[in-house]
Structure 1
Amino acid sequence: MARYILNRILLMIPTLIFISFVVFVIIQLPPGDYLESYISELQSHGESIDMAEIERLRAQYGLDQPFLLQYVTWASGMLVGDFGYSFEYGLPVTDVVGDRLFLTVIISIFTIIFTWMIAFPIGMYTATHQYSWGDYGLTLLGFLGLATPNFLLALVMLYFANVTFGTSIGGLMDAEYINQPWSWGKVVSVLEHLWIPVVVIGTSGTAAMIRRLRANLLDELDKPYVTTGRAKGVPPFKLLVKYPLRVSLNFFVADIGSMLPSIISGAEIVAVVLSLPTTGPILIAALQSQDMYLAGSFLMFLALLTVIGVLISDLALALLDPRIRLQGEGAR
């Protein structure tokens, strides 16, 4: 096990180096750079342009250097925690991300908990009560959750929250706490607003997870080892949890590789509709404005979380399912 983990970690190094190069190529593909986009924006508004200042900024941030030198400067800076400078915000990337990354992580964690708390009991019920009225009713709700666009549900929830509970529309906290240091009042305000994006973002994921868990459980419940367990008098709930449910959790664990990147990217469209101060809208804006270092840093965060998530899911699957082994034993 230790040797396997060490080999995987060592393999992550060239993988991330290759991904960083690909990311840098992608963010450099559009013609021009942020300063050229900035010049075009000023010209469209009829404002004067100080070309000497533009050239000074280009030299200051290395935009006049060759492509490979720019890449090496950016990649080597990330190794010491310097992710570059955001031209759009006029701040280092780490300062721009700041609280937004923290709030994105909070929303994502609560969304995952909400999704699992709803999906597990409903999926288990529908699988063990196949073709019952409860199965049909919950399946209908699941299809409605899959069919309803998140942005439409976000608008409905905004209206419902404002009319019923008086929660201010949009954002993740009351206006008085924006850009203020953390306090107990700010925490309470965030919790008051948090349930709206959690329900909106988690709805479609919950519906899809219910369908997958139900299908996996139905497949396992028809296998001979379950019949044998029933014949031996194992209590139904204990039999369900100890064996079929454990095997059916494989896809939950396998999803960790895609779940961790979602902590950074978030639900961008929902974040825009709800005016959430998360990382999703910043990533979209950075790509649109060619804020190369900010966009590249986000993409590298996603890549890092992806390779870490895949490693965690592989190890967890080996612990969860005895049929999975990290080292082959076929030579025996």
Structure 2
Amino acid sequence: MWRYLARRLLYLVVVLFLISVAAFGVIQLPPGDYLTTYVAGLQASGQAINEAQVAALSERYGLNEPFYVQYGKWISNVLLHGDFGTSFEWNQSVSSLLAQRLPLTVLLAVTTMLFTWVLAFAAGIYSAVRKYTAGDYMITVLGFLGIAIPNFLIALVFAWVSSTVFGQPVGGLFSAEYADAQWNLGKVFDLLAHIWIPIVVLGAAGTAGLMRILRANLLDELNKPYVVAARARGIPEWRLLWRYPLRVALNPFVSTIGWVLPGLVSGEVIVSQVLSLPTTGPLLVRALTSQDMFLAGSILLIVSALTVVGTLISDIALGILDPRIRLGQKI
């Protein structure tokens, strides 16, 4: 087990290094850099361009240096000092920008994942145990709708219904009076009153997919010989369900840790734009548009790290949950 963990941690370091190089390189693929975009914006608005100022900014941020020199400075500061660099557009440290938005992003991602698991777990079990009933058909229809309808379209429907039916705008995670206020009990309750909408919107597709997978796996296990033999011995149905088939059918829930969290952190970009959420999604879009390479590279690096670490956690959890995986992987 420990040798397996050590090997996976070594792979994790190598993969993260390669991902950081790729992320930093992808940001610089478009022609030009942040200053090119900045100068083009000034020209489009008819403002005068100070060449000396542009040259000074290029020298300050090292934009006139080769790619490997820029990457070396950035990654060494990240690893040695925890410094992700300075955002060109916001003119402040990337760490301070992330500190403002990352906690709310992680909170939204974790709560959405828990909502997805709880709802999919209950609906999947009910649909498998009560197959071909009216409830099963209703859950199936809702599941297909959740998979087929894009999240941003569900967000638009929520916004329209809220404004036309209830007369309340949908947007942000706080009311206007709490947006810039210090944290207190009132702000926490205000957050709870707003956060359920993005949770439902972001969790719709994931809930539908997991529910269908759990139903299919559970139906497959319920027809196997060991379940038939257990029933013949008189084991109660719910005890049999929870002790044996459900443990095997839960594997997809554990294996999705590796992609659910980063998917929620990076995949809620359009939903965040529609609902005006103060998360890292809109920040990433703006950084990529303006070629703010340190800010965009830092967000991509964090999302990639979540993917790799999440995959490691899911592999370990699968080994603990399913003895067949422990034997197959020799951990």
TM-score by length of 2: 0.95
Q: Do the aligned residues in 2 keep the contact of 1:253 with 1:317 (CA within 8 Å)?
A: yes
Q: Once the two structures are superposed, what CA deviation does each residue of 1:203-259 show, in whole Å capped at 9, x if it has no partner? A: 121111111111111111111111111111111111111111110111111111112
Map of 1:137 onto structure 2: 138
In structure 2, stretches of 5+ residues that fail to align are none
- Of residues 259-268 and 77-86 in structure 1, the stretch that sits farther from structure 2 once superposed is 259-268
What residue is the counterpart of 2:271 in the other structure?
270
Determine what percentage of the aligned residue pairs are the same residue: 53
Q: Check whether the contact 1:158–1:196 (CA below 8 A) recurs between aligned residues.
A: no
The 5-angstrom pairing of residues 265-304 of structure 1 reads 265-304=266-305
Return the letter of the residue paired with 1:52: A
C-alpha contact (below 8 Å) 2:272/2:281 kept by paired residues: yes
Number of matched pairs = 329
Pair 242,291 (structure 1): closer, same or farther in 2 beyond 3 Å? same
On the 8 A contact 1:171/1:275 being kept in 2, the answer is: yes
Q: Secondary structure at the match of 1:219?
A: helix
CA-to-partner distance for each residue in 1:25-49, whole Å, 9 max, x for gaps? 1111111000110000110010111
Q: Name the residue aligned to 1:23.
A: 23
What is residue 235 of structure 1 aligned with on the other side? 236
* 2:147 counterpart residue number: 146
Paired residues of 2:102 and 2:280 also in contact (CA < 8 A): yes
**Secondary structure of 1:323's aligned partner:** helix
Query: What is the match of residue 59 of structure 1?
Result: 59
1:315 alignment counterpart: 316
CA distance in structure 2 between the partners assigned to 1:44 and 1:222 by the alignment? 68
The answer to whether structure 1 residue 125 and structure 2 residue 126 are counterparts is: yes
Is this contact kept in 1: 2:117–2:253, CA < 8 A? no
Q: Which amino acid aligns with 1:173?
A: F
Q: Secondary structure of the equivalent of 1:177?
A: coil
The CA deviation string for residues 39-96 of structure 1, in whole angstroms up to 9 with x for no partner, is 0011001011111111111111111112211110011011121111111111111111
Answer yes or no: is the 8 Å Cα contact 1:168–1:174 preserved in 2: no
Counterpart amino acid of residue 219 in structure 2: L
Give the Cα–Cα distance (whole angstroms) in 2 for the partners of residues 295 and 199 of structure 1: 27
- 1:92-137 deviation digits (Å, cap 9, x = unpaired): 1111122311111111111112112211111111111221222112
Contact kept, 8 Å, 2:284 with 2:299, in 1: the verdict is yes
Aligned partner of 1:218 in structure 2 is 219
SS in structure 2 of the partner of residue 46 of structure 1:
coil
Instruction: Tell me which amino acid in the other structure corresponds to 2:189.
Output: V
Contact 1:4 1:326 (8 Å CA) reproduced: no
- Once residues 270 and 329 of structure 2 are traced to their aligned partners in structure 1, the CA distance between those partners, rounded to angstroms, is 44
Structure-to-structure mapping, 1:15-164, within 5 angstroms: 15-79=15-79, 80-162=81-163
More deviation in 7-16 or 65-74? 7-16
Distance of 1:243 and 1:193 partners within structure 2: 39
CA RMSD of aligned residues (A): 1.7
TM-score by length of 1: 0.94
**Which amino acid in the other structure matches residue 40 of structure 1?**
A
Q: How far apart, CA to CA, are the structure 2 residues paired with 1:51 and 1:119?
A: 58
Counterpart residue identity of residue 208, structure 1: G
Change (3 A) 1:313 1:305: same
Change (3 A) 1:206 1:327: closer
Aligned with 2:70: secondary structure?
helix
